[in-house]
Amino acid sequence: MRRDLDKTIWLYTMLIMGAGLIALYSATYQNPRVPHKIFFDQLIGAGLGLSLMFYLGRISYRKFYDVAYVFYGINIFLLCLVLWGGREALGAQRWLQIGAISFQPSELTKLSLILMLGRYFSNRRPAVTFTFLSRTQKIIRDLIFPLILTGVTMSLVFKQPDLGTAILLFGIFMIMLFATDFEYKYFFMFFGLLICCVPFVWHLLHPYQKDRLLVFLNPNIDPLGVGYTIIQSKIAMGSGQLWGKGWLAGTQSQLNFLPERHTDFIFSVIGEEWGFIGTLFIVYCFFMLINCALDIANQVNDPFGKLVTVGIVGILALQAVINIGMVMGLFPVVGITLPFVSYGRSSFLIFTIMMGFLLNLSKKRTVF
Amino acid sequence: MRLKIIRISVIILFLLITGDLLYVQVIRGNYYYNLSKNNRVRIVPLGSWRGLIFDRNGVVLADNRLGYNVLITPQEVKDLNEVFAFLEDVLGINEKKLTTTYQNKKTAPFAPIVLKENISREQALMIEENRYRFPSLFVQENFERVYPFNDIGAHVLGYVGKVNRAKLEKLKEYGYSPQSTVGYTGVEEYYDSFLRGVEGGIQIEVNSRGQQVRILSFKDPVQGQNITLTLDSKIQTAMRDLLGDSRGVIIAMDMDNGEILGMVSSPSYDPNLFTTGDNQKAAALMSKNNSPLFNRAIKGAFPPGSVFKVAMALAALDFQKIKQQTSFICTGTYQVGDKAFRCTHAHGNQNLIEAIAHSCNIYFYHLGQMLGVDAMNRYAQELGLGNLTLIDLPYEQEGNVPGRFSKKRGAQRWYMGDILNFAIGQGDLLTTPLQLLRMMAIVGREGDDVQPHLIKNIGDELVTKYSFFRHVAIDPTAYQLVNKGLRAAVNTFSGTANAADIHGLFVAGKTGTAQTSGNQDTHAWFVGYAIGEQRKIAFCVFLEHGGSSQNATIVARSLLMRLQEQKYL
């Protein structure tokens, strides 16, 4: 049993943050589309996040258990508020302005959903052999009801529209469901049913979302329009080669061939300027962080802590893999950011809260 | 257990990602590196100054002039209609036409489109003054080719234009880009490699909007070399005047060294049309039915008619079938089987010199019968007929000299009638005017063949490539006899070319009236040479469907008199 898991979390979180800040500096210092000051915003956000992480590491994670449902309720209210009077940017209503601060409730949803599902799934008593619960009741309790709860936030987020986050939320649900003792048989039946539903979901998508998915299948459909981003990002990645073109010297990023390079496509800045060595480093850090979280989940006896950790593992892994895959043209461009690296203070703070949760859990894991 | 599955899935996902990173960044890295380089590096070509073309006296035949083009950058357009409305006012081009040009040429948002080439200076100033209103428009300076003599000598000079796709395929290796200007036909094409110089360029780094970030490298264009031709613009002008609207060719060549002094093919065209970018007029030229773009002097293959009798006479003398005194009686017809071959008159008793002077068909029917097709073919080829003259112009045609095995006839056998037709330059025999001129020069110089050429100087260097000569090995007395005949055609009263007899000038030549297919008028030929005090000039006058050879002779007379007046002879 490793006792220094909290140190590992600190180490890799800070490594990723540091690399992210350096990359963000490069992505913004000569960017005509975004002011350079967002680098300093992010720097302040990082300081704030690290202190939050430190603070949360000291207070009991069980407090999250207490507030989980309330938190979820507030979150749903905020999501409704966004739809009703949120700030519009880039064709979507995602931001909520309170005074001078604006933030994205959809980022918050990631955390609140994990906590809510964690509490819900852990509350269920393990099924005893001679129980009166019929199979249907079990399915309703274990699958349908949490699915409805997830579905509420999902549809609110989807409505913004934010397809990427909606998919992520669903991913969280699936992973956490998988981590409960829900029977494999039903899990995979449900999974199969979902795949059958895909054509129906297609009709719900906005035309631009359909475009992105189609372009993902073949970026050359529209090389100057939607496919442009994928093509340019892939060129940026590949042209970094082994050692990269050097910090601040990436031609693809510095000459504005990469759109959205401070948010969704920051990984291609890293790929171009630091090469394969740089990308390998980032991927390694994420892997170690996730691995560490899984170690914690393994050693924790408390079902709430365990499920929430699995949820955090899920969101980290999904976001990292989908973002990197998106930049490499392996996934459609759905607007999913790279945790700790992409610009975005809401997302940054949510992830530090998650890390804080893990820190505290890693300390308490042997208590039970 | 379930955590283990999650862990394994995460490991697999991360391995896949790493594998793809390895593939894209390391294995295919070079490919993407080049793509990124192409992304940001643009080459702006700098056109070179095309070499000028001068005539032998230093008169400019092809010049360059500063021109202006209007270009538009699609990504900077705010309101297209407003821009086009403005341009309609300034340039007087229909808005619809501008829109179609714009849509046809649009490729990438950063790539400027040429809306109109060669606008006037005033128009260019108007556009530049309104630049603040329409930042998408700009005016580019470039050199445009100007031909001060318009249609005079257009066939020899050729014209210039942007490289077309077919040509680009061939010329790519020699550093031509789609923006390059290249010569089409004539000297412009043949000496393009000297005239064009070396295109320069600025290699610039651009950002994603195609805006210049910095200059990476700069290459100065190298000026093309000037060319001096053997042509004389005064002779050219005189020839053009003489031909007027009629179809035909006049060529004059210095017999001693093969320098072409004048070469005019009519109808002609104005090569300036191609540089002013007036596509409609240029296209109209191509489709005109009297084919003005066609250089008849080297591309037109026509039956030589009686001019071919010169070759026949030489062949018969060299073959020792006849002697000077050999004579035949011309009764006006020549009977082969039940078919009668006619002569223009009943000439009576004709010896060789008289036969040439009077262009008696019967005499040459006899020679044809004696020589047979093989000998005729051999001597025709020896004298350059049916062969390229290798003059320094592109797309020369060979014409055709029939032979026993010539492709045109296939397996068909030779009848006597074919031989007789061949003997008087009809039938399948086709020659270009330049070939006949060259034959006449060989005869005039008694066997010394000079290479007709147009180039005198490239840059400051004298071109000596054409100064060799070939000797056509035919009995010298044969040449002397034929020359006597040619002279007699001009200076005897009954000679066919008597009209060209000019006081104080030695003129010799052979007329020809070639029958053509259908009911069209005959071709009129007069090919010969004149020996004056200044120089010896071989000339060829050809009038396509010009009627009797007398017409050609009269044209030749005027030409020679002008040359004499202007002290060229």
Ordered by start, the domain boundaries in chain B are 2-39, 47-229, 233-285+296-565
Chain A within 8 Å of B284 (Cβ-Cβ)?
A: no
Chain B within 8 Å of A8 (Cβ-Cβ)?
A: no
Which residue, among B248, B282, B280, B310, has the nearest Cα to B439 in the 3D structure?
A: B310
Confidence of residue A224 (pLDDT cuts 50, 70, 90): low
Suggest the residue from B10, B209, B214 to mutate for an interface test with chain A (most A CBs closer than 10 A).
B10
The Cα B159–Cα B283 span in angstroms is 14
Q: E-assigned strands of B294-383?
A: 327-330, 333-336, 339-342, 348-351
| Closest Cα in chain B, distance from residue A182 (Å) | 11
Chain B within 8 Å of A279 (Cβ-Cβ)?
A: yes
Runs of H (alpha helix) within B469-569: 476-491, 549-565
Tell me the range of A320-324, B139-143, B274-278, B565-569 where mean pLDDT is highest: A320-324
Residue B525 has pLDDT above 90, yes or no: yes
> Sheet holding A92-98: strands in order across?
A87-89, A92-98, A101-103
3-state secondary structure of A313: helix
Are B82 and B43 a contacting pair, CB within 8 Å?
no
| Closest Cα in chain B, distance from residue A278 (Å) | 11
List, in sequence order, every residue forming a beta bridge with B449; answer none if it has no partner. Answer: B470
Which residue, among A159, A156, A164, A157, has the nearest Cα to A260 in the 3D structure?
A: A164
Residue B100 has pLDDT above 80, yes or no: yes
Burial class (CB in 10 A: 0-12, 13-18, 19+), B3: middle
The Cα A106–Cα A104 span in angstroms is 5
The encoded tokens of residue B497 equal: 């070319």
Are A71 and A113 a contacting pair, CB within 8 Å?
no
Residue B496 has pLDDT above 50, yes or no: yes
Confidence of residue A88 (pLDDT cuts 50, 70, 90): low
The encoded tokens of residue B342 equal: 């006619």
Please write the tens of the pLDDT for every residue from B190-218: 999 899 888 877 777 777 666 667 777 78
Sign (positive or negative) of CA dihedral B275, B278, B281, B284: positive
Indicate yes or no: CB of A257 within 8 angstroms of CB of B39. Answer: yes
Q: Which residue has the tokens 């790279």?
A: A338
The predicted structure's pLDDT at residue B41: 76
Q: Which residue has the tokens 């007929």?
A: B385
| Identity of the amino acid at B481 | L
3-state secondary structure of B388: coil
| Closest Cα in chain A, distance from residue B107 (Å) | 10
Please write the tens of the pLDDT for every residue from B361-408: 999 999 999 998 899 999 999 999 999 999 999 999 999 898 887 756
For residue B228, how many C-alpha atoms fall within 13 Å in the half-sphere facing its CB? 12
Count of A-B CB contacts under 8 Å: 122
Q: Find the residue in A nearest to B211 (Cα).
A: A255
Confidence of residue A1 (pLDDT cuts 50, 70, 90): very low
The H or E element spanning position A37 is helix A37-56
The region of weakest confidence among A283-287, B340-344, B479-483 is B340-344
3-state secondary structure of B216: strand
Please write the tens of the pLDDT for every residue from A171-213: 999 999 998 888 888 888 888 888 888 888 888 777 777 777 7
Residue ranges per domain, chain A? 5-84+92-364
Which residue, among A164, A159, A186, has the nearest Cα to A174 in the 3D structure?
A: A186
Residue A216 has pLDDT above 70, yes or no: no
Residues 6+ apart with CB under 8 A from B323: B317
Are B513 and B308 a contacting pair, CB within 8 Å?
no
Indicate yes or no: CB of B21 within 8 angstroms of CB of A271. Answer: yes
The Cα B544–Cα A329 span in angstroms is 69
Chain A within 8 Å of B207 (Cβ-Cβ)?
A: yes
Please write the tens of the pLDDT for every residue from B403-431: 887 756 666 778 888 889 899 998 889 99
Q: How many residues does chain A have?
A: 368
A172-206 burial: b if 16+ Cβ within 10 Å, else e: bbbbbbbbbebeeeebeebeeeeeeeeeeeeeeee
Average pLDDT (A256-278) is 88
The predicted structure's pLDDT at residue B379: 93
Report cis status (omega within 30 of 0) of the bond before B267: yes
Suggest the residue from A230, A232, A241, A243 to mutate for an interface test with chain B (most B CBs closer than 10 A).
A241
The predicted structure's pLDDT at residue A186: 84
Q: Report chain B residues whose CB lies below 8 A from the CB of A251.
A: 36-37, 39-40, 205
Which residue, among B527, B366, B316, B510, has the nearest Cα to B438 in the 3D structure?
A: B527
Please write the tens of the pLDDT for every residue from A94-149: 777 766 677 788 889 999 999 999 999 888 655 555 556 677 777 888 888 889 99
Chain A within 8 Å of B31 (Cβ-Cβ)?
A: yes
The Cα B213–Cα A251 span in angstroms is 11
The predicted structure's pLDDT at residue A331: 83
Q: Phi and psi of B44, rounded to 5°?
A: -100, 110
Q: Find the residue in B nearest to A238 (Cα).
A: B25
Indicate yes or no: CB of A256 within 8 angstroms of CB of B37. Answer: no
Helices H / strands E in chain A, number of each = 14, 3
Runs of H (alpha helix) within B106-228: 121-129, 154-157, 165-171, 186-190, 192-195
Query: What is the CATH number that goes with domain B47-229?
Result: 3.90.1310.10
**Average pLDDT score, chain A:** 85
Chain A within 8 Å of B214 (Cβ-Cβ)?
A: no
Pairing state of beta strands B227-229 and B53-54?
Answer: parallel
Indicate yes or no: CB of A235 within 8 angstroms of CB of B28. Answer: no
Residue B540 has pLDDT above 90, yes or no: yes
| A313, B71, B72, B100, B208 from B103: Cα distances, Å | 52, 13, 12, 5, 22
Q: Return the CATH fold of B233-285+296-565.
A: Beta-lactamase (3.40.710)
Which residue, among A74, A79, A71, A155, has the nearest Cα to A114 in the 3D structure?
A: A71
Which residue, among A101, A92, A90, has the nearest Cα to A34 in the 3D structure?
A: A90
The region of weakest confidence among A39-53, B106-120, B432-446, B507-521 is B106-120
The predicted structure's pLDDT at residue B526: 95
